Copies of this chain bind each other. A is one copy, B any other.
Amino acid sequence: MKKQVALGIDIGGINTPFGFIDKEGNYLAEGHIETQKHEDINDYLKELHLAIEKVLDTIRNSVELVGIGIGAPNGNYYTGAIEFAPNLRWKGVLPLCTLMKEYYPNLPVFLTNDANAAAIGEMIYGGAKGMKDFVMVTLGTGLGSGYVANGALIYGHDGFAGELGHTIVSPNGRQCGCGRKGCLETYVSATGVKRTAYKMMAKYNDPSELRAIPFNDMTSKMVADAAHRGDMIAKYTFDYTGKMLGEALANTVAITSPEAIFLFGGLAKAGDLIFKPTKDHMEMNMLKIFSNKVKLLPSKLDKNAAIYGAAALVWNELKK
């Protein structure tokens, strides 16, 4: 009997990696194409289809493809379309599921945004197995999130639930790419850490290796490395980042009362540097009935997490 596999596709701003994964999480084959080479999305999908088929050829005899899951920026689960993604060259509403179905008319095709896909990935393949209520927080250039309640992802009425990164945590605070001010992701994200490092250099007199680096060259990784070497400005930066995240998570706990909150992405890899202040400020700001109840955990998804998440979307839908 052929092994059932799902195809997970992760449409990123630069690359589109994809992979074939079975229900147990075995990663069977993979490929990728560039995302932004073609002016016309149809040409992009044509190339993607060819690349998929080429990889599928290597395992075709032993597998049965049961569905396609796609994670994409601004991917709307309900409409199956990417809607006004700022990081893609194709503008407006892109009916991705419909377009993919032209190549795979007999397969179910599902789409959601990256953070929701990551949440489902965590639920099917990662640390949230068996959990019915949890929150996934993805820390990259921005801050994404996916909320699971009663065992189901919360898409909301229009498919755009889970925008924790765009809750305003500081009225009239930092300017955000969304056009507003004070959004959580301007504080808690790779970009946020970088901004905070400069705030701390302005505020304190401690010597710091970061003072030699121009804003344009700074990365959150440099701040983390400096903190690990004992740099005080870098440490203040992570403490502040954890404070902002912990306060926001305390409020999010009050709303959905999750069993656990998972942190995923580059920043989450900073370990105790980010987990300790986050946990401290979360507990400090939490309503007493939630004290010491909610686990703050690193994601168990790692390499190819976005592809795992996209493939997990297929298994999660077929389960319904």
Contacts and interface: CB of A to CB of B under 8 A. Distances in A.
Interface of A: 83-84, 131-133, 145, 147, 149-150, 152, 154-164, 166-168, 171, 178-180, 247, 250-252, 254-259, 285, 287-290, 293-294
Instruction: Please list the 8 inter-chain residue pairs (A to B) with the smallest Cβ-Cβ separation, ordered nearest first.
Output: A156-B257, A161-B257, A157-B259, A167-B251, A163-B254, A133-B157, A149-B154, A166-B287
A250 B154 contact: no
Q: Which of A161, A247, A251, A288 is packed against the most chain B CB atoms within 10 Å?
A: A251
Nearest to A149: B154
Given A83-B289, A158-B290, 13 more contacts: A132-B157, A133-B157, A150-B150, A150-B154, A156-B258, A157-B257, A159-B257, A160-B257, A162-B257, A163-B287, A167-B254, A168-B285, A178-B287
Contact of A285 (B180, B250, B254, B285): B180
20 contacts: A83-B289, A84-B289, A145-B255, A149-B149, A150-B152, A150-B155, A154-B256, A155-B257, A157-B293, A157-B294, A161-B255, A161-B256, A163-B254, A164-B255, A166-B287, A167-B255, A168-B247, A179-B288, A180-B287, A252-B255
A251 B145 CA distance: 13
Contact of A293 (B158, B168, B258, B290): B158
A315 B3 CA distance: 43
Contacts of A159: 257
Contacts of A161: 133, 149, 255-257
A84 B287 CA distance: 14
Contacts of A259: 157
Contact of A156 (B133, B178, B180): B133
Given A171-B247, A178-B287, A285-B168, A255 B147 contact: yes
A158 B252 contact: no
A257 B147 CA distance: 11
A180 B247 CA distance: 13
Contact of A255 (B83, B162, B247, B288): B162
A257 B156 CA distance: 4
A92 to B, nearest CB: 14
A250 B154 CA distance: 17
A299 to B, nearest CB: 18
Nearest to A183: B287
